[in-house]
């Protein structure tokens, strides 16, 4: 099974603290790396996590609040200083385009790589990126500005070859790909060996949903139903639910309700308010609703 990993670079909210950086993550699948959000300090966190700057294929920005994009222009500049030549795709709400253009014109005028901007519609769930390995969909969210999450879905893989059966029937290596794609085998005596005897089922496709920032949305569970892992903002604990409602954020218990109703594999909590010196209060209330809840933390690597 190819690695499918999520690198947590920042899981705090608007105010950086000595314990948490603003939002940023890197999703790694089959040798490619994709960044989600790029808060202040992301470059430093990439260094600490030993993530190669030139391996980032695309960057997905959820919304235009500083704690999700203040680190972007500095990182783009560093890409240029490091001699990047591979194009970089940026997916973000359309209103980010003039801001990005102004910053690039001011600070980054001599790049040797192309920046390809893709405006996303935050009101629709639709595929915005696709390659041979995966698709990335937008997830409509509700915040103070147009916001969407992103859903990474691994594409189905081919069945596993049963080496013992291949050896038993003396099947040449040249036929392996045909068998992986569904072919049977006819032995020297003309007897057909069905494909089901020569292969084992493929690994089930994995998926990861990133949802930050948003108020509680009961219908969100249907959009992320059955994902292997869900990252959902949990800015506040339930005693601060009025703040959550005022600023269009979610409590840890509400995030856990989404995870429970969606029947996800596991829940990662994040986007913590700086008011909490210890996020265990968030973890405890989430686990009362959905046991498979975890706290995200800088430097954490989640393997699906």
Could you read off the pLDDT of 268-303 as tens digits, one per residue? 999 999 999 999 999 999 999 999 999 999 999 999
Catalytic residue among 67, 131, 187, 277: 67
Kindly report, residue by residue over 9-48, the tens digit of the pLDDT: 999 998 888 899 999 999 999 889 999 999 999 999 999 9
pLDDT average, residue stretch 65-90: 95
Pair of tokens at residue 182:
């569904």
Q: Is the CB of residue 254 less than 8 Å from the CB of residue 265?
A: no
Assess whether pLDDT exceeds 80 at residue 96.
yes
DSSP H helical ranges for 108-219 = 163-169, 176-180, 195-198
Domain extent listing, the chain: 4-157+203-303, 160-195
Q: Could you give the CA distance from residue 133 to residue 155 in angstroms, rounded to a whole number?
A: 6
For position 53, what pLDDT does the model report? 87
The 10s digit of each residue's pLDDT in 104-145 is 999 988 888 999 999 999 999 999 999 999 999 999 999 999
Active site (annotated) includes residue 67: yes
CA dist 194 and 303 (Å) reads 35
Listed in sequence order, the DSSP H helices in the chain are: 42-48, 66-69, 72-81, 96-107, 163-169, 176-180, 195-198, 220-223, 241-246, 252-262, 280-289
Q: Which residues contact 196 (CB under 8 A, 6 or more apart)?
A: none
Q: What is 4-157+203-303's CATH number?
A: 3.60.15.10
CA pair distance 137, 120, nearest whole angstrom: 10
31: left (phi over 0), alpha (psi -120 to 50) or beta: left
Residue 296 falls in which region: left (phi positive, over 0), alpha (psi -120 to 50) or beta: beta
- The per-residue pLDDT for 181 is 86
Q: Is 125 exposed, middle or buried (0-12, 13-18, 19+ CB in 10 A)?
A: middle
User: What is the tens place of the pLDDT at every residue in 148-179?
Assistant: 999 999 998 878 888 888 888 788 888 888 87
Lowest mean pLDDT segment, chosen from 47-56, 193-202, 228-237, 293-302 = 193-202
pLDDT reading at 1 higher than 80: no
Per-residue pLDDT band at 183 (split at 50, 70, 90):
confident
pLDDT of residue 59: 98
Rg of the chain on CA atoms, in Å: 22
The percent of residues in the chain predicted with pLDDT above 70, rounded, is: 100
Query: Which of 97-101, 181-185, 247-251 shows the lowest mean pLDDT across its residues?
Result: 181-185
Do residues 196 and 183 touch, judged by C-beta distance below 8 A? no
pLDDT at 214: 98
pLDDT above 90 (res 8): yes
pLDDT at 201 (0 to 100): 82
């Amino acid at each position: 099974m190819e690695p499918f990993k999520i690198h947590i670079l920042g899981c705090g909210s608007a105010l950086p603290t000595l314990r948490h950086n603003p939002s940023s993550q890197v999703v790694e699948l089959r040798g490619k790396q994709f960044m989600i959000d790029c808060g202040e300090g992301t470059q430093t966190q990439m260094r600490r996590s030993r993530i190669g700057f030139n391996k980032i294929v695309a960057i997905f920005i959820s919304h235009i609040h500083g704690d999700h994009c203040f680190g972007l222009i500095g990182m783009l500049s560093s890409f240029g200083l490091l001699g990047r030549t591979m194009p970089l795709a940026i997916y973000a709400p359309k209103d980010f385009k003039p801001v990005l253009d102004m910053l690039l014109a001011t600070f980054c005028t001599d790049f040797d790589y192309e920046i390809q901007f893709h405006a996303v519609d935050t009101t629709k769930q639709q595929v915005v990126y696709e390659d041979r390995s995966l698709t990335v969909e937008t997830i409509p969210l509700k915040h103070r500005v147009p916001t969407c999450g992103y859903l990474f879905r691994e594409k189905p893989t081919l069945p596993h070859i049963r080496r013992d059966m291949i050896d038993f029937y003396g099947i040449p290596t040249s036929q392996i790909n045909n068998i992986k794609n569904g072919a049977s085998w006819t032995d020297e005596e003309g007897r057909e060996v069905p494909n089901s005897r020569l292969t084992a089922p493929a690994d089930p496709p994995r998926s990861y949903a990133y949802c930050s920032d948003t108020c509680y949305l009961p219908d969100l569970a249907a959009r992320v139903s059955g994902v292997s892992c869900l990252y959902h903002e949990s800015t506040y604990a339930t005693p601060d639910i009025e703040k959550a409602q005022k600023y269009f954020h979610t409590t840890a218990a509400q995030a856990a309700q989404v995870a429970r109703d969606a029947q996800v594999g596991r829940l990662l909590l994040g986007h913590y308010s700086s008011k909490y010196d210890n996020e265990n209060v968030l973890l405890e209330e989430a686990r009362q609703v959905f046991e498979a809840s975890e706290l995200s933390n800088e430097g954490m690597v989640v393997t699906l």
